[in-house]
């Protein structure tokens, strides 16, 4: 089950990478329409451009495309660009919405020649629908079963050639046979601060905002490497400037706006800091079991593990070991505390085990 990115107050996290309705509305107005306008992901863009150009030169539909990576990096936008570049219609659906083979058959049978079908979160599609998709991707044909039991009849249905664009945040959950049927696979990486500045400059121009170069850097550095978060923070800075009558937003104004929303200089919000503070203050830096840590911050275990931990681990603030979670040196420093001599990350055995997948059970004596 997907875990919504929510803070302890129950509202959506400002630095959560999952999009809400407002994000969708904003993204629709800010989305680039071509690969040339798309910022970042230089390697994927170059490879995808080659795939699309070759298909147009051959006069055939493009190979199926799989886009993987964390949420908020532009998978949906790239799917729209693919359809735009190929000058064909785009059909959008998602894995969770296709729970029966008949659901997929209805979509596939209504496609037109060359149309792009975008399936978001494709790894969450049901197994029967997934098995039907194998034949549709490879042979452009599906078998429709009519009737039940001994009287059931399989009717072959030919499909027009189409291009499937699948998006997933968890490529490891895709079965091999499905992965192998994609002609091109692109993995989207987190953005650097300079790349996010380019995203923000483009968005600010479309939103008619006047900002200094330092203000763009300030917002970009707090955006956790994710364009969706960067645009969301830009909206909050815009609101703050409007209320305070600031016409030209500088770094100080941008910082003050984001400080008010409790997004610190490294992009951590209240939930992230609560996890680090509990780990350092209550458990002396660990190791501590996941469930004990979750209880200490008043959150569900799944929330801590899937919402807070990925970014904290990526930033080198938190480590996961078979014995539990430990605070890294950067965590103490970020909280303004001196790293103690007894810190768990200094234990050679735990340092060796940092790359080991931790157990979820509460194994430490917190």
Annotated binding site for Mg(2+): 76
Set 13, 45, 75, 273: catalytic member: 75
- Residue 169 appears among annotated catalytic residues: yes
To which residue do tokens 């593990």 refer?
305
H helix count then E strand count, the chain: 16, 11
User: Across the strands, what pairs with 157?
Assistant: 142
Q: Of these residues, 13, 23, 61, 76, which one is catalytic?
A: 76
Q: Does the annotation count 37 as an active-site position?
A: no
The pair of three-digit structure tokens given for residue 246, joined into one six-digit string: 């600031």
What span, in angstroms and rounded, lies between the C-alpha atoms of 254 and 87? 40
* Residue 307 · residue 268 · CB < 8 Å: no
* Lookup: tokens for 230: 């960067």
Note if the bond before 287 is cis, omega within 30 degrees: yes
Please state the residue numbers annotated as binding site for DNA.
Answer: 320, 325
Could you say which of 23, 120, 269, 272 is catalytic? 120
Alpha carbons 81 and 75: distance in angstroms, whole number: 10
State yes or no: is 120 an active-site residue: yes
3-state secondary structure of 35: coil
| CA 327/CA 332 separation, integer angstroms | 7
- Which tokens hold the place of 134? 């194998």
Query: Of the listed 61, 169, 292, 321, which one is catalytic?
Result: 169
Nearest to 123 by CA among 81, 67, 45: 67
Select from 255, 316, 222, 296 the least CA-distant residue to 8. Answer: 296
Are the CB atoms for 118 and 105 separated by under 8 Å? no
* Residue 179 annotated among the catalytic residues of the structure: no
* Contact present, 26 and 231 (Cβ < 8 Å): yes
Q: Which residues are annotated as a binding site?
A: 30-31, 72, 75-77, 138-140, 181, 191, 228, 320, 325
Which candidate in 228, 238, 270, 323 is catalytic? 228
Just list the catalytic residues: 75-76, 120, 169, 228
């Amino acid at each position: 089950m997907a875990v919504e990115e929510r803070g302890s107050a129950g509202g959506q996290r400002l630095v959560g990478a999952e999009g809400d309705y407002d994000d969708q509305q904003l993204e629709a107005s800010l989305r680039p329409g071509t690969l040339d306008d798309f910022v970042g992901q230089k390697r994927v863009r170059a490879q995808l451009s080659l795939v699309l150009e070759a298909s147009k030169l051959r006069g055939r539909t493009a190979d199926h495309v799989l886009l993987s990576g964390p949420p908020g990096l532009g998978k949906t936008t790239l799917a729209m660009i693919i359809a735009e570049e190929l000058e064909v219609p785009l059909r959008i659906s998602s894995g969770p919405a296709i729970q029966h083979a008949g659901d997929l058959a209805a979509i596939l049978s209504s496609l037109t020649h060359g149309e792009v079908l975008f399936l978001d979160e494709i790894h969450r599609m049901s197994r029967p629908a997934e098995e039907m998709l194998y034949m549709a991707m490879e042979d452009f044909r599906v078998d429709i079963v009519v009737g039940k039991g001994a009287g059931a009849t399989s009717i072959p249905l030919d499909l027009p050639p189409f291009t499937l664009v699948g998006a997933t945040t968890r490529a490891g959950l895709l079965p091999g046979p499905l992965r192998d049927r994609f002609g091109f696979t692109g993995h989207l990486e987190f953005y650097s601060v300079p790349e996010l500045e380019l995203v923000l400059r483009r968005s600010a121009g479309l939103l008619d905002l006047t900002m200094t170069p330092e203000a763009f850097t300030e917002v970009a550095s707090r955006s956790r490497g994710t364009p969706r978060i960067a645009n969301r923070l830009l909206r909050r800075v815009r609101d703050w400037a409007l209320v305070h009558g600031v016409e030209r937003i500088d770094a100080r104004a941008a910082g003050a706006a984001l400080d008010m929303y409790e997004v610190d200089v490294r992009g951590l919000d209240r939930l992230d800091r609560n996890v680090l503070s509990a780990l350092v203050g209550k458990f002396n830096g660990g190791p501590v079991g996941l469930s004990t840590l979750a209880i200490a911050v008043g959150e569900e275990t799944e929330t801590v593990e899937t919402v807070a931990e990925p970014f904290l681990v990526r930033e080198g603030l938190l480590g996961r070991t078979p014995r539990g979670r430990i605070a890294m040196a950067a965590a103490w420093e970020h909280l303004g505390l001196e790293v103690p001599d007894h810190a768990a990350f200094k234990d050679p055995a735990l340092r060796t085990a940092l790359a080991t997948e931790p157990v979820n059970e509460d194994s430490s004596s917190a």
